[in-house]
Amino acid sequence: MPNRDTSLIVSTQWLADHIDSPDIRIVDASWHLPAAGRDAKAEYQAEHIPGAVFFDIDDISDETSDLPHMLPRPEKFASRMRKLGLGDGNRIVVYDSNGLFSAARAWWMFQVMGHSDVAVLDGGLPKWKAEGRALSDMPPVPTERHFTARLNNLLVRDLDQIRSNIDSQCELVVDARAPGRFKGVDPEPREGMRSGHIPGAVNVPIGTLFQEDGTFRSLDELQQIFNDAGVSGDKPVVTSCGSGVTACIVYLALQMLGHQGLAVYDGSWSEWGMRDDTPIEV
C-alpha cells in the first residue's frame, strides 16, 4: 500500500509530538453551513487545540463578491496572515471541528497563495478530543510575521473557464456534493438555487472518502473510489461543490494520490446554480 504523504496531512499523534516545535503554527479553520445553527468562532473560543489561531473563511474572503467566501486578493490574505502570526518559514497545520470539512478550504487557500508548507490534521478536532488530548480556552497572542503571498491562478477556475470547458471537455469536473443534490432530486440548501450539476461532471461525495473515525480512507481505497467514479487521471481535474469548501477535500484527496493539474471552481454551485444562463444536467 502507498504511504500517506505527510506533507499534506498529519496525524493527531504527529501534532501532539510536534506541538511545541518553534516552527509549527496551528490553525482552527472551522466553519459551518448556515442551517447548522452553529457559531464556529464561539466554539473555538470555548475550546481549541492549544496555541491555535482562528481562521475565518468568511472574513478572509473577497468582500467585493456577492458569493460566499470567495478567494481574497493576495494583499488581503497576507495582511490577515500577518496578524494571525502566520508567515514565511512556518509549518502550518489546519484543522476544523467537524473532523475534515472546512480545514481543506483553508489548506487550499494557503496553496493558492504560495505557502505550500501546510498540512491538514487527519480526523480534526473530534479525533483529538476523542483521544483525550489537551484543549485550551486561552486566546493566543500571536506575534506578527511576514507572509509573502504569491497568487497561483492555475489552481483556481472561474465561471467563464467552466463554461468553456463544457464544449472542450479538456478538464473533468468532479462534484463533491451529496448524490441527491448532484442528480437534482434533492433541493439545494440555499434558497433560489436550481438543482442538478454542471454538464459532464462526475460525482464523488465527500462522505465516501472517510473512515468512521473521520480520517481519510487508505490510499488504495481512495484510488478505487475515484476509479469507480470515472476519475482516471487521464485529464486534469476541477473540483466543485456547494460553495467551494468541500471541493477542497476532493482536491486534497486527489493530490494525496499524486494527481497533477488540479484546480477548484471557486464559485461552485453557489454561482452556477443561481444563474439562469448556465446549463444544468439532472
pLDDT in tens, 71-128: 999 999 999 999 999 999 999 999 999 999 999 999 999 999 999 999 999 999 999 9
pLDDT tens-digit profile of 120-166? 999 999 999 999 999 999 999 999 999 999 999 999 999 999 999 99
Q: How far apart are CA 9 and CA 5, in angstroms?
A: 7
Return the exposure string of 110-126: e unless at least 16 CB atoms fall within 10 Å of the residue's CB, then b: bbbbbbeebbbbbbbbb
Amino acid at 17: D
The CATH number for 9-151, chosen from 3.40.250.10, 3.20.20.70, 3.30.420.10, 3.40.630.30, is 3.40.250.10
Does pTM surpass 0.75?
yes
What's the per-residue H, E or C state across 221-269? HHHHHHHHHCCCCCCCEEEECCCCCCHHHHHHHHHHCCCCCEEEECCHH
The ranges assigned to domains in the chain are 9-151, 154-272
Residue of 27, 104, 204, 241 marked active site: 241
The angle at the Cα of 22, spanning 20 to 27, to the nearest 5 degrees, equals 75
Fold matches, 9-151 and 154-272: yes
Is 170 an active-site residue? Answer: no
Query: For the segment 183-236, what is each residue's pLDDT rounded down to a tens digit?
Result: 999 998 888 899 999 999 999 999 999 999 999 999 999 999 999 999 988 899
Give the type of residue at 281.
E
What class does CATH assign to 154-272?
Answer: alpha beta
